[in-house]
Structures are given as structure tokens and as C-alpha cells.
A and B are shown apart, each in its own frame.
Chain A
Amino acid sequence: GAGVSQSPRYKVAKRGQDVALRCDPISGHVSLFWYQQALGQGPEFLTYFQNEAQLDKSGLPSDRFFAERPEGSVSTLKIQRTQQEDSAVYLCASSLSGRDLYEQYFGPGTRLTVT
């Protein structure tokens, strides 16, 4: 079946612009995660949803970052007033269960460049 998909794959934003990044998880997956991956580093956790509930947003770096998953499937990560330090690859991952620990499957990521 289809894997996790993300759009757009690349985004260039001028500093101060707002951006919205979309994630389509694997159908039926309860859990959805957002990670930020800076160049040459490992992914870092941003936020976690179980169905439509945002259960953990401890990794969001500032109040300019906002995520939602209103119907428990597609998720959007929004960054307001982008800054140069926001430049990174934003990865989405989904997992089958909301209770047990299952494999997390990653999307291809959105590469955000803030100029």
C-alpha cells in the first residue's frame, strides 16, 4: 500500500512568511509524529498526535510552530513568521497503534529553506 506522503517536497520562504506543510499518513495509522532534521543531524521530535488529539507538543521550538490533525488522518504543520533557523527538513512519521509501540514509518520530508 501507499506509504507516508508529504507535500510540498521543497519550500522556499522569505523570512517572515508563514508556511504550511502537509502529511498524509498510512491509512489506518493512529499515531502521527512530526520531526525536524537539521543538516547532518538526527531527526528531533516536534509533536505527536493520537488520532486527532495532540498528546505531546513538548518539542515545538516556539509558539510560531503549530500543528493540527482535525479528522485524525491528514496533519498540517504550520510555521508562522519563518526565521532562518527554521531551515531544515521536516519529517512526518506514522505508526499503527496508539497504545503499543509499533514501527514508525517516515515520509520523504519537506525541505524548508528560509531566505
Chain B
Amino acid sequence: GENVEQHPSTLSVQEGDSAVIKCTYSDSASNYFPWYKQELGKRPQLIIDIRSNVGEKKDQRIAVTLNKTAKHFSLHITETQPEDSAVYFCAATDTGRRALTFGSGTRLQVQP
């Protein structure tokens, strides 16, 4: 089955700096890659997603890149703010499987 690895497990940045979180996946059939933000005790919230027919997608301060050949995808957050502090999860799935396989999470802390 699919295996998703996520790095780093923790990331501390200064407010205004950029943050990058990286994930690799094992199943070449995977074609949908969402990113979720989860604050303590809250539900995972979708922040951005990318499909395998696209190499990059941007939404304001957040961008995701996908390298299908290398089977890795990354989340980029620019101009970080304290409210960006949370745990971020990457995930992968395909049209046949549908269920998401999640990475182990990255705890991002933005220092004011």
C-alpha cells in the first residue's frame, strides 16, 4: 500500500520567514495530494491540494509543488505569522483507493 513520509517533524521559524515541509510517497498511482492544518484539539482543515497533472499551485502565502518523477511534494509558507503555528499533515491518494494516507505531521512554531 501507499506510504507517506514527512519531514521535518518539528520546525521553528521567526515571524516573516518562510517554512518548507517535504513529503515523499511510494505509490506511483497516487494522483491527489492535499495538505491539512490541525490546531490543538481541532479538526484537520484543508489548506491546499494539488493533482498529479499540475506541478505547482499557489494560494496567497501558501504554495505546493509536486515532482511526480521523484515522488515528492512540498508545502511552502511565506511571510509566516504566529497564527500559522499548528501541525501540518500531507496526504496522498488515488482515484481507485480514495482513502487518504497521511504523513506523520510537522509541528510548525512561528516565533513572534
Contact = CB atoms under 8 A, between A and B. Distances in A.
A107 B95 contact: no
User: Is chain A's interface secondary structure helix, strand, loop, or mixed overall?
Assistant: loop
Given A56-B98, A108-B43, A42 B34 contact: no
Contacts of B44: 43, 91, 106
A108 B42 contact: yes
Interface residues of A, number: 24
A56 B49 CA distance: 23
Contacts of A91: 43-44
B43 A101 contact: no
A71 interface: no
Contact of B101 (A45, A48, A105): A45
Interface in B40-59: 42-46, 49, 51
Nearest to A47: B99
Interface of A: 4, 31, 33, 35, 40-45, 48, 55-56, 59, 91, 100-101, 103-109
